[in-house]
Amino acid sequence: MNATSTPRRRWFWPLAALALLILALAAWLLLRPSADAPAASPQGAGGASAPAAGDQPRPALTVTVAQPQRESMPIRLQANGNIAAWQEASVGAEVNGLRLSTVNVNVGDAVRKGQVLAEFVRETTQADTLQARASLMQAEASYQNAKADAERARAIENTGALSKSQVAQYLTQEKVALAQWEAAKAALGATEVRLGNTRVLAPDDGVISARAATVGAVVGAGQELFRLVRQGRLEWRGEVTPSEVDRVKIGQSVAVTAATGREVQGKVRAIAPSADPQTRNILVFVDLPRHAELKAGTFAHGAFDLGQSEALTVPSQSVVVRDGSNYVFAIDAQSRASQLKVRTGRRVGERVEVLEGLQAEASVAVQGAGFLNEGDLVKVVQ
């Protein structure tokens, strides 16, 4: 071995060892697990990672809760019926063959008793009145002449200047003239009445509900020109069954709700003595106050006030209607929702009576109840 190869061999093995050490250190740095990296979770059979033992399920919804309350609620008998006029007056023509000259009112107008509703042409009737008055004056003159003749005959009756037959004739002429005078008075009165009937007057205070009068029409006697709701009074005619009528009393308060939604307070005025042969229901007549939204002939719902009673109630928001049934959701101590089927009763304002299916000490969901299902976890807030 020559001298030049000896120094090379002396440095080869330390350099090789140093290179291997550097490679090993680099491999260890690359393959070691990071301190910040999460620990690998074991794989399930489906390849999804299993939840950690400390994870908690999240609430499905945030709701408010309330406890049922016992409170006094009114007892009411529900009924349906129609609004009608208390009384209607038919205003017709009392003259025959005359033409309407003016019509002063229309449907919906409020009128006073004696107010002129329409007028007929008066010329013909006025002429008849003048003729009757002239006939009266003529009859009066004849009577005065016959009366004077009769008085003279009575004065000389016992003197023998006139025979008894002549005296009787003068006395008879007096009676005939008096009768003719009275007949002329009656005729004049009839023509004056006919003249007055050319003005159609309102028979009472009220509201015009129908009008058949037309300017220029020639109407016959007795033909209806107007229909009048007397005094503007309306009533509700509720229908109750024979089993319910004993609970209704005269003077009882009734809450009547019109078709527009307007509610007014009425009082029972009368109860029909017999039932309707078609429906077998009995009519109850309820006086109503005057109101612009109440219209005769419209449908209305009524509730008879029968007193008060205690009831278990919940907010109306807590009652959920599903598949034709009523439910509430009770929230337990673990904030789990339980669906309970309940039977509801009366409704007053925002409270609903629960007849069965709910305990008084339960807590029910109010806001958000309509979105809950059986077993949902909820978050309860105030």
pLDDT, tens digit, for every residue of 367-381?
A: 988 888 888 888 888
Strands 282-288 and 234-240: antiparallel
| Six-digit token string for 346 | 């009366």
pLDDT of residue 328: 92
| 3 state SS of 33 | coil
**What is the pTM assigned to this prediction?**
0.58
Q: What is the pLDDT of residues 284-311, one digit of tens each?
A: 999 999 888 888 889 999 999 888 889 9
pLDDT > 50? residue 48: no
pLDDT of residue 31: 64
pLDDT of residue 179: 94
What is the chain's length?
Answer: 382
| Six-digit token string for 276 | 């309707």
| Six-digit token string for 292 | 């612009």
Percent of the chain with pLDDT over 70: 89
3-state secondary structure 125-181: HHHHHHHHHHHHHHHHHHHHHHHHHHHHHHHCHHHCCCCHHHHHHHHHHHHHHHHHH
Q: What is the average per-residue pLDDT within 73-94?
A: 90
Identify whether the C-beta of residue 285 lies closer than 8 Å to the C-beta of residue 268. yes
254 vs 46, residue with greater confidence: 254
pLDDT > 70? residue 2: no
Percent of the chain with pLDDT over 90: 43
Where is average pLDDT lowest: 29-33, 42-46, 137-141, 216-220? 42-46
pLDDT of residue 60: 73
pLDDT of residue 227: 92
pLDDT of residue 201: 93
| Six-digit token string for 327 | 């439910």
pLDDT of residue 33: 53
Q: What is the average per-residue pLDDT within 140-164?
A: 83
Give the span between the Cα atoms of 69 and 312, in whole angstroms: 6
pLDDT > 70? residue 182: yes
364 vs 55, residue with greater confidence: 364
pLDDT of residue 212: 92
pLDDT of residue 8: 54
Cα separation of the two ends of the chain: 98
Q: What is the average per-residue pLDDT within 27-35?
A: 61
Task: Give the architecture (CATH level 2) of 77-87+232-307.
Answer: Beta Barrel (2.40)
Identify whether the C-beta of residue 95 lies closer than 8 Å to the C-beta of residue 118. no
Domain 62-74+310-380 class?
Answer: mainly beta
| 3 state SS of 113 | coil
Q: What is the average per-residue pLDDT within 253-282?
A: 92
Q: What is the pLDDT of residues 201-240, one digit of tens each?
A: 999 999 999 999 999 999 888 889 999 999 889 999 999 9
Q: What is the average per-residue pLDDT within 340-351?
A: 89
Indicate the pLDDT class of residue 193, thresholds 50, 70 and 90. Answer: confident
From residue 274, alpha-carbon distances to 82, 237, 271, 297 in Å are 18, 14, 9, 22
The full set of domain ranges for the chain reads 62-74+310-380, 77-87+232-307, 88-211
pLDDT > 70? residue 65: yes
pLDDT of residue 49: 42
